[in-house]
């Protein structure tokens, strides 16, 4: 949180460390290349640092955009949704396409259809609120009207008298973003987990979680996009059928070791098998079946053993 003085009155310009896609990336760049801090330390002018940050963020965003667009385009065609392929190239509309590829969501006996509409709406509202918060701040840096000055409480950010509206608009965006971020997170966690269940069943939880946690951890922003690009040629699967097949395979593998009765459901249990003779490969030199037949004591007809002692 950054205390700001605007027009002689105390204001607050709170620059949250999360922004949907482009805003998220540029906030990460600002973490290392804050224009106000660069200007305060004399390393770079604030406008120059702002432009450099925008350029770096734009480059990363374009790479992410291309990976995501190519991946979703291929997935849409494989799923027979070519009429929605254009959504892969339109921000916010990509969320609708992800929802369509994820399919219907089930909560107990309830089924939610068209979940992509809810995800796209939540992303749109969050993006607008973050733009209201962040674009005025960028403008303030570009016109060199946001400064860092020392005070009794430490270093604070101040806004010039000419652009007092920057603090007002940024505060509105901050307030709205705190509301819409939770709406987006709640919707996104279910939709993206359902989406990755169909394409990456072995790692769906971590990928779905990364797509939500990037709201707070910007370093994760590229992980889901790379995953979407990497699995673009896979066909969607039925996750429930996949799990049933996995369980049956595990039962078949464990049967020789644990004695479990696996196999086809409903089949009659088999009788226990006699253990194999561990000495079957070593023939008895006497011709008998017991390898220890000659090592014991036996009694003859007189009641004596082979050594001559009385039994």
> Nearest-CA neighbor of 204 among 222, 192, 214, 216?
192
Q: Where are the domains of the chain?
A: 2-236
At residue 105, does pLDDT exceed 60?
Answer: yes
Distances from the Cα of 1 to the Cαs of 11, 14, 16, 77, 261, in angstroms?
11, 5, 8, 45, 62
277 contacts: CB under 8 Å, gap ≥ 6: none
Most confident segment among 53-67, 75-89, 221-235, 296-310: 75-89
> Nearest-CA neighbor of 225 among 61, 64, 57, 56?
64
> Nearest-CA neighbor of 24 among 57, 53, 49, 50?
57
What is the Cα–Cα distance from 128 to 178, expressed in whole angstroms? 12
Segment 35-78, tens digit of pLDDT? 777 777 777 788 888 888 888 888 888 888 899 999 999 999 99
What is the Cα–Cα distance from 65 to 48, expressed in whole angstroms? 25
What is the Cα–Cα distance from 276 to 272, expressed in whole angstroms? 12
> Nearest-CA neighbor of 14 among 33, 29, 27, 25?
27
Q: Which helix (H) or strand (E) holds 107?
A: strand 105-107
What is the Cα–Cα distance from 213 to 202, expressed in whole angstroms? 19
What is the Cα–Cα distance from 220 to 307, expressed in whole angstroms? 84
Chain centroid, CA 249 distance in Å: 27
Q: What percent of the chain has pLDDT over 70?
A: 69
What is the Cα–Cα distance from 130 to 172, expressed in whole angstroms? 10
Segment 132-148, tens digit of pLDDT? 888 888 888 888 777 66
**Model's pTM, two decimal places?**
0.66
Residue 193 and residue 100 in contact, taking contact as beta carbons nearer than 8 Å: no
How would you class 272 by CB atoms within 10 Å of its CB: exposed for 0-12, middle for 13-18, buried for 19 or more?
Answer: exposed
At residue 232, does pLDDT exceed 70?
Answer: yes
Tell me the average pLDDT across 158-165.
Answer: 75
């Amino acid at each position: 949180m950054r205390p700001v003085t605007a027009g002689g009155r105390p204001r607050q310009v709170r620059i949250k460390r999360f922004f949907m896609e482009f805003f998220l990336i540029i906030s990460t760049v600002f973490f290392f290349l804050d224009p106000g801090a660069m200007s305060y330390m004399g390393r770079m002018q604030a406008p120059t640092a702002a432009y450099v940050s925008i350029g770096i963020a734009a480059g990363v965003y374009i790479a992410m955009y291309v990976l995501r667009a190519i991946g979703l385009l291929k997935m849409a065609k494989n799923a027979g949704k070519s009429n929605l392929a254009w959504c892969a190239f339109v921000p916010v509309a990509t969320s609708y396409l992800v929802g369509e590829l994820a399919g219907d969501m089930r909560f107990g006996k309830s089924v939610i259809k068209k979940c992509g509409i809810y995800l796209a709406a939540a992303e749109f509202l969050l993006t607008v609120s973050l733009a209201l918060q962040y674009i005025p701040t960028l403008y303030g840096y570009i016109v060199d009207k946001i400064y860092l000055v020392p005070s009794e409480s430490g270093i604070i950010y101040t806004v010039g008298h000419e652009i007092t509206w920057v603090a007002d608009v940024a505060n509105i965006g901050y307030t709205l973003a705190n509301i819409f971020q939770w709406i987006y997170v709640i919707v996104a966690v279910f939709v993206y987990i359902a989406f990755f269940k169909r394409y990456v069943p072995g790692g769906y939880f971590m990928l779905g979680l990364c797509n939500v946690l990037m709201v707070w951890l910007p370093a994760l922003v590229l992980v889901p996009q790379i995953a979407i690009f990497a699995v673009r040629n896979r066909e969607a699967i039925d996750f429930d059928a996949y799990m049933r097949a996995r369980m049956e395979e595990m039962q078949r593998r464990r049967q020789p070791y644990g004695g479990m009765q696996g196999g086809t459901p409903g089949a009659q249990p088999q009788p226990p098998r006699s253990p194999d003779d561990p000495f079957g490969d070593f023939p008895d030199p006497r011709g008998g079946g017991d390898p220890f037949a000659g090592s014991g004591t036996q009694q003859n007809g007189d009641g004596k053993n082979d050594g001559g002692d009385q039994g």
